[in-house]
Amino acid sequence: MTAHALGVEVACDGPGESRDCPESAAIHARFGSLTAAQVREDGRTDGWTRRRRGRRLVDLCPACSSH
């Protein structure tokens, strides 16, 4: 049996350090997206953003981006 990677899921990091995403949002990857970078690109078309929080980058869904 051979295992193949099915892709990755990028989930929202929430509106703040101590708050989870109220919608438990995740980017809906398109059929051909297999890497995190490709999935994040899919998310940008749906309004997702990537910001720096402290020393790391976080992914935010459209609802959390506005906070």
Would 67 be classed as within a structural domain?
Answer: no
Per-residue pLDDT for 64 more than 90? Answer: yes
- Tell me whether residue 42 is in a domain: yes
Phi, psi of 26 (to 5 degrees): -140, 150
Question: Range of 29's domain?
Answer: 1-62
Instruction: Find the distance separating the first CA and the last CA of the chain, reported in whole Å.
Output: 46
How many distinct structural domains can be found in the chain?
1
- pTM for this entry: 0.80
Helix (H/G/I), strand (E/B), else coil: 24: coil
How far apart (Å, rounded) are the C-alpha atoms in residues 30 and 14? 22
Rounded to whole angstroms, how far apart are CA atoms 12 and 61?
6
pLDDT in tens, 25-62: 999 878 888 888 999 999 999 999 999 999 999 999 99
